[in-house]
Amino acid sequence: MTEPVTDQPAEVPQAPGQARPSRKKRPILRRLLSSVLVFEAVFLILAMPVAVTVEHLSHGIAFGVGGGLTLAAIVLAGVIGRGRWALIAGTVFQFLIIAAGIEVPALYVLGVVFLALWFGGIHLANKVEPPDPG
């Protein structure tokens, strides 16, 4: 009797006490920080019409800057956890949101809230799954 052919690789037996190698690096970190960035993208989309009506920004500036920041948040959400550079880029992005408060003062508050969520996610992920040494 033959075994059915599957697309999945055969599991390699491991010694007791050994951790199973994960396919993704630091999945909890990726999940937490990607969630922060996706929710931040949603808030940025919702902030664009507010910037036009309440802050009286021109449509071009509001939707250009807001759309660019939204796109950056979505791209960063996809690359978080792939390297230290992505964490640095995400942190710089959080400070860019706060700097956007120059044009839309509500982004000062939202930027600080998301910055706290960002560093809270990094701290929590480091407690649950410590980074690989080296």
Residue 12, both tokens: 């390699």
Query: 30, 81 in Cβ contact below 8 A?
Result: yes
Answer yes or no: pTM beyond 0.75. Answer: yes
> pLDDT band at 2, cuts 50/70/90?
low
Alpha-carbon distance 77 to 98, whole Å?
18
Alpha-carbon distance 60 to 93, whole Å?
21
pLDDT of residue 51: 87
- What is the tens place of the pLDDT at every residue in 53-109? 988 888 998 899 899 999 999 999 999 988 889 999 999 999 999 999 888 888 899
* Average pLDDT for 97-124: 92
Q: Is the pLDDT of residue 116 over 60?
A: yes
Alpha-carbon distance 35 to 38, whole Å?
5
Name the burial class of residue 18, with classes exposed (0-12), middle (13-18) and buried (19+) by CB atoms within 10 angstroms of its CB. Answer: exposed
Residue 133, both tokens: 């040494």
Alpha-carbon distance 129 to 15, whole Å?
21
